Amino acid sequence: MTCSITDLPSCIVTEGINALQHLINQPIQPIIDLVKLLLTQPATIEPLAPIWAIMVYVISLFYGLVLLWAGISFIIGGSSPQRRERAKEWLQNAILMIVSVQASYYIYLLLTDLAAKLTTGVVSLINPNFFLITIDNPVNIGFELIFGFLYVNTLTLTCLVLGIAYIVSSIGVVFFPIGLFLWFIPPLRDVGKYILSKVIFIVFLPFFASLILLTASLLAGTGPFVNAKVLLAILAFGAINLWFIIMALLVIIRSVFAVLRSDIAQAFLMVKGYFVAAMAVETSKPGMRPR
């Protein structure tokens, strides 16, 4: 701001307010910077490349079995059009599986870069003052004095939640080839679909969080929300934290049901049922009752 002799008093007041605002925000500025970094930074998967290579190597041991099964199914089902089509599907899935699993690292890297660029674009649209304690109107100052400590705690919790999401997103490169491998095996497709959907969703979680912050920042500049900016910020970051926690619980719960709904689990339960029924028949015979 350029000051002159005529508007010197207003310049002194403005510069004093800016200096006081900078002093107030200085303790929380590192937390805000960390939040922005965790939102926009792509997942770091390079250190996990050796683990990814091990997982792909282990998965590659099953390539021959899948191809062998497809060949045997094609030979045995030569007289049945349905079996031939099923064998061709197995062979097609095996080829696609080999290509996608081997390229899974670069596919996952592309996904993380895309998510980071989208999130960076959204964060750049957010007014920087939305994250700061501002001295702009008496009502907002009063709310900031009352809820300032809660806002700092909410920001700290957001850093923790985003940090956990960032770590999980980085580890996702290890599970991504497993999901691709299971996706191309019909009996395990539900499990593979579940793994892929959750890994991709975690990668794009920061993007959805940035949309929440952008919406709150736009509301903070309109109508009655101008006087309650700090409350909107608390609600926005609190909604992100609550959303992440709920999604984590849903992932755990749905993972159990996804495994139980898979064909392998159903076959296991069926075999277990037959075994229990056979044991019940044996124990019901005369002379076989337990003492």
The C-alpha atoms of residue 245 and residue 161 are separated, in whole angstroms, by 8
Neighbours of 61 (CB within 10 A): 8
| Domain residue spans of the chain | 8-254
The C-alpha atoms of residue 71 and residue 84 are separated, in whole angstroms, by 10
Lowest mean pLDDT among 31-45, 154-168, 273-287: 273-287
Residue 173's pLDDT band, with cuts at 50, 70 and 90, is very high
Give the position of tokens 């056979």.
Answer: 278
Average pLDDT over residues 62-84: 70
Residue 152's pLDDT band, with cuts at 50, 70 and 90, is confident
The C-alpha atoms of residue 40 and residue 220 are separated, in whole angstroms, by 22
Q: Which residues contact 38 (CB under 8 A, 6 or more apart)?
A: 159, 162, 163, 165, 166, 206
Q: 279 vs 91, 265, 271, CA distance in Å? A: 40, 21, 12
Residue 273 has pLDDT above 60, yes or no: no
The predicted-structure confidence for 193-236, as pLDDT tens digits, reads as follows 888 888 998 899 999 999 999 998 888 878 777 777 888 888 99
Higher pLDDT, 284 or 172: 172
Q: Which residues contact 115 (CB under 8 A, 6 or more apart)?
A: 42, 203, 204, 206, 207
Average pLDDT over residues 114-140: 83
Higher pLDDT, 248 or 78: 248
Residue 24 has pLDDT above 80, yes or no: no
- Residue 25 pLDDT: 67
Residue 290 has pLDDT above 50, yes or no: no
Residue 176 has pLDDT above 90, yes or no: yes
- Residue 245 pLDDT: 85
Residue 16 has pLDDT above 90, yes or no: no
The Cα angle at residue 133 between residues 132 and 135, in degrees rounded to 5: 125
- Residue 111 pLDDT: 94
- Residue 214 pLDDT: 92
Residue 272 has pLDDT above 60, yes or no: no
Residue 251's pLDDT band, with cuts at 50, 70 and 90, is confident
Q: Which residues contact 42 (CB under 8 A, 6 or more apart)?
A: 112, 113, 115, 116
Share of the chain above pLDDT 70, in %: 71
Residue 266's pLDDT band, with cuts at 50, 70 and 90, is low
Residue 23 has pLDDT above 80, yes or no: no
Residue 17 has pLDDT above 60, yes or no: no
- Residue 12 pLDDT: 59
Residue 286 has pLDDT above 70, yes or no: no
- Residue 175 pLDDT: 93
The C-alpha atoms of residue 204 and residue 197 are separated, in whole angstroms, by 11
State the pTM of this model: 0.75
Residue 291 has pLDDT above 50, yes or no: no
Residue 118's pLDDT band, with cuts at 50, 70 and 90, is very high
